[in-house]
Amino acid sequence: MIAYFFRLLGSVIFVSWIVGTLVFFLIHLVPGDPVAVMLGDWASPTDETALREQLGLHLPISTQYWLYITGLFQFDLGQSLFFHQPVSELIAERFPMTLQLAVMALLVAALIAFPLGLWAALRAGKWPDHLSMTVSLIGVSIPNFWLGPMLILFFSLGLAWLPVSGAEQPFSWVLPAITLGTALAAILARMLRASLLEVLHEDYIRTAQAKGLPSRLVYGKHALLNALLPVVTILGLQLGTLLGGAVITEVVFDWPGLGQLLVESIQRRDYPVVQGCILVISVAYITINGLTELAYAWLDPRIRVAS
């Protein structure tokens, strides 16, 4: 376990360096000047030069990259060009909101996927199975940028049940979580169905049924627990994906999270904030993948023995 921890730590450091390097050079290739965005079109060349020197943008790219990387390994993400405060503070303010939305979306997806996948597996080849898979296919095919506005039109503007946007009201998370969790629910339902169908044909399931065990115990304890292994893997991977994929949903619902901060910073050419946001999302993704592997080993003792 200790060796695995150090492997995970090494992966995080290596990925952080690769992602930081790629983002740094790619964002400097994007057309646009942050100084022109901050000062406007009518700023004098003298003001632009002074601000560029103040922000360190007059330095060569190689020097800026070296300062960025050395600061990165000192846990310093730099200073925001627009907000004039440390990037780490901005991310610390926004990241909990994105994490909350991702967890809520994951919960919504699980509440939809588990009954749907179980129902489809236990009625394989019959109309409930076809109906469940059709619903899941529709769910995975609907893009977030279309589903979000439709939910706003129906539940917020039409029925006036839920808030339109923001995160101030108690149930503000419901529509963004449903928007973000629908596609994940469809993927999980199909994965759970396929895994359950494979497990239900195992010898120990037939033995449990021959012993006269109740169906609730056979399906709930023996079948479902063993079918959760690939589902846990998908859950872990998708949680990391939700952290990065919440950008569109946060913009649609004006959710004050990391995704919205990333979009705003791209528009303002705020290089340090963009680099910091993408780096945090990447590190969170690989960390969640590592924790998923630990959960996988906990669920299946054979993996612990093999490692």
In a domain, 46, yes or no: yes
pLDDT for 96-133, tens place per residue?
888 888 888 888 888 888 888 888 877 777 887 788 77
* Domain assignment present for 10: yes
Query: Does residue 295 have a pLDDT over 80?
Result: no
- In the block, tokens 């569109």 appear at 248
Same domain, 6 and 145: no
In-domain check, residue 77: no
Considering the domain architecture, whether residues 33 and 159 belong to the same structural domain is answered as no
The average pLDDT across 239-253 equals 76
Cα 33 to Cα 52, 120, 199, 222, 279, distances in angstroms: 10, 54, 57, 60, 22
Identify the CATH number of the domain in which residue 108 sits: 1.10.3720.10
Decide if 78 is inside a domain. no
Share of the chain above pLDDT 70, in %: 80
Q: How confident is the model at residue 47 (pLDDT cuts 50, 70, 90)?
A: confident
Q: What is the pTM of this model?
A: 0.75
- Are 32 and 115 contained in the same domain? no
In a domain, 82, yes or no: no
User: Is residue 99 domain-shared with residue 154, that is, in the same domain?
Assistant: yes
Residues 64, 57: Cα–Cα separation, whole Å: 8
Residue 305, pLDDT > 60, answer no
Closest of 16, 65, 87, 21 to residue 277, by C-alpha:
87
101 and 49 assigned to the same domain: no
Do 285 and 152 lie in one domain? The reply is yes
> Are 226 and 252 part of one and the same domain?
yes
* Residue 47, CA distances (Å) to 42, 52, 60 in order: 10, 8, 20
Provide the pLDDT for residue 130.
81
Query: By residue range, what is the domain housing residue 56?
Result: 2-72
Mean model confidence pLDDT for the chain = 78
Does some domain include residue 81?
no
Q: What is the mean pLDDT of residues 218-241?
A: 70
Dist CA 178 CA 173 (whole Å): 9
CA neighbours closer than 13 Å in the CB half-sphere of residue 15: 17
83 pLDDT exceeds 70?
yes
Same domain for 43 and 168, yes or no, is: no
Q: Is 77 in contact with 275 (CB distance < 8 Å)?
A: yes
Distant-in-sequence, close-in-space partners of 107: CB < 8 Å, separation ≥ 6: 177, 181
Same domain (yes/no): 112, 25:
no
Asked, for residue 32, whether it belongs to a domain, the answer is yes
| Structural domain contains residue 80 | no
How does DSSP classify residue 126? S
Q: What is the arithmetic mean of pLDDT over 40-45?
A: 70
Q: Residue 51 pLDDT > 80, yes or no?
A: no
Same domain, 59 and 124: no
Mean pLDDT of all residues in 76-84: 80
The answer to whether residues 286 and 144 belong to one domain is: yes
Say how far apart CA 264 and CA 271 lie, in whole Å: 11
Residue 247 sits in the same domain as residue 184: yes
Count of the separate structural domains present in the chain: 2
pLDDT reading at 307 higher than 70 = no
Q: What's the CA gap between 37 and 54, in Å, rounded? A: 15
DSSP structural state of residue 76: -
> Could you give the maximum distance between any two Cα atoms of the chain, in Å?
87
19-35 pLDDT, tens digit each = 778 888 887 777 766 77
